[in-house]
């Protein structure tokens, strides 16, 4: 779970600034194309699980009747502030129960990695399938695998304006089959001064064969696509049988 990840708590208000490099518009186009290609049900209801600040929903809401779900209230607050007329609900992807079924479930930008273990992944995929109509489609954008994760990877990012700047330094390790990302975040804001934060994100490195096996076990016709939103990640697509 994302519990304790500061970027999703008190730093949620800087999330969109830190990820301004991400082309959500283009990603929305790719996701809409994949839905059109694989969805067999006739409706247009869409659930974005781990929706964060609602950036994908902003792109998809014109074509789909969207709902957003996230475990983190601070992220949901940002989403509700930006996107009016869409329901954003708090829930854990492993056990949420919205009491209805959707034509599309999406779970993007590595949110799935936060479930950390294969038993949790199996539960989560079963829950996605439970919320899908027959012929509905699920699209999951994974985090890295053991093969693609790089131990000791360093990255630095600075974003902002003259009045507000955020710098984030990451150091990524591979530990016990998990991706552990230690971060230091510095926020400098005019009139307020400087605040520094420590953060740690722990994500699973799920292997492709096992991911596909668990999707199939959940009752989904599953495939892995090389087509990616982020380079090298690929996408999992499942259709509810």
Ligand X SMILES: C[S@@+](CC[C@H](N)C(=O)[O-])C[C@H]1O[C@@H](n2cnc3c(N)ncnc32)[C@H](O)[C@@H]1O
Where is 188: in which H helix or E strand? strand 178-189
Contact region for ligand X (CB under 6 A) — 105-113, 127-135, 155-163, 169-177?
105-113
Rounded to the nearest angstrom, the gap between the alpha carbon of residue 221 and the centroid of all alpha carbons in its chain is 21
Alpha carbons 186 and 184: distance in angstroms, whole number: 7
Residue 71 binds to ligand X (criterion: CB under 6 A): yes
Contact region for ligand X (CB under 6 A) — 34-42, 65-73, 174-182, 192-200?
65-73
Whether the Cβ atoms of residue 40 and residue 119 lie closer than 8 Å to each other: no
Residue 38 binds to ligand X (criterion: CB under 6 A): no
Whether the Cβ atoms of residue 143 and residue 110 lie closer than 8 Å to each other: yes
Helix axes 208-217, 118-130, angle to 10 degrees: 40
Tokens of residue 233, six digits: 């990640």
Residue 30 binds to ligand X (criterion: CB under 6 A): no
Interface with ligand X (CB under 6 A), residue from 34, 57, 60, 93: 93
Q: Least distance (Å) from ligand X to the CB of residue 240? A: 20
Alpha carbons 137 and 34: distance in angstroms, whole number: 9
Contact region for ligand X (CB under 6 A) — 33-41, 107-115, 132-140, 155-163?
107-115
Question: Of 109 and 236, which has the nearer Cβ to ligand X?
Answer: 109
Name the residue whose CB lies closest to ligand X: 52
Interface with ligand X (CB under 6 A), residue from 8, 38, 102, 128: 8
**Count of positions (residues) in the chain:** 241
Give the interface with ligand X as residue ranges (CB under 6 A): 1-2, 8, 50-52, 55-56, 70-72, 75, 92-94, 108-111, 114-115
């Amino acid at each position: 779970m994302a519990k304790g990840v500061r970027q999703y708590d008190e730093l949620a208000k800087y999330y969109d600034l830190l990820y301004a490099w991400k082309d959500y518009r283009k990603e929305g186009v790719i996701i809409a194309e994949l839905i059109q290609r694989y969805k067999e049900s006739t409706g247009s209801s869409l659930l974005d699980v781990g929706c964060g600040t609602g950036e994908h929903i902003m792109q998809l809401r014109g074509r789909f009747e969207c709902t957003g779900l996230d475990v983190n209230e601070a992220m949901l607050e940002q989403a509700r502030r930006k996107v009016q007329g869409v329901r954003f609900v708090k829930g854990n992807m492993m056990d949420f129960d919205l009491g209805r079924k959707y034509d599309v479930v999406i779970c993007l930008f590595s949110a799935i990695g936060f479930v950390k273990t294969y038993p949790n992944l199996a539960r989560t995929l079963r829950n996605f399938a439970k919320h899908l109509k027959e012929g509905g489609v699920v699209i999951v954008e994974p985090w890295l695998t053991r093969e693609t994760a790089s131990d000791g990877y360093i990255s630095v990012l600075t974003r902002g304006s003259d009045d507000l700047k955020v710098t984030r330094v990451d150091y990524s390790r591979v530990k016990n089959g998990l991706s552990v990302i230690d971060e230091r975040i510095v926020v400098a804001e005019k009139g307020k001064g400087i605040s520094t934060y420590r953060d740690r994100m722990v994500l699973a490195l799920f292997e492709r064969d096992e991911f596909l096996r668990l999707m199939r076990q959940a009752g989904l016709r599953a495939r892995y696509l090389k087509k990616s939103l982020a380079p090298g990640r690929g996408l999992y697509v499942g259709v509810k049988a």
